[in-house]
């Protein structure tokens, strides 16, 4: 969805941009509403920069 490396998304989680749930297997899961909000914020930022 973000078109970035998965490590970048994980870093965003560590920085507090996204909260994550960690599965017993160690995988990170992100809340859909937070992902969509971050995507919308990015689109708004790009649109305002033009």
Write down the residue that tokens 């941009």 correspond to: 17
Residue 43's pLDDT is 61
Residue 46's pLDDT is 45
User: Measured on CA atoms in the order 36, 41, 21, 2, is the torsion positive or negative?
Assistant: positive
Chain segment 7-27, per-residue pLDDT in tens? 888 888 888 888 989 999 998
pTM summary value: 0.60
∠18-19-23 over CA atoms, to 5°?
Answer: 125
Q: 40: pLDDT confidence band, cut at 50, 70 and 90?
A: confident
> In angstroms, rounded to a whole number, what is the distance separating the alpha carbons of residues 43 and 50?
11
Percent of the chain having pLDDT more than 90? 8
């Amino acid at each position: 969805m973000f078109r970035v490396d998965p490590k970048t998304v994980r870093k965003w989680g560590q920085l507090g941009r996204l909260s994550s749930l960690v599965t017993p297997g160690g995988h990170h899961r992100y809340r859909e509403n937070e992902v969509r909000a971050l995507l919308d914020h990015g689109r708004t930022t790009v649109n305002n920069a033009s």
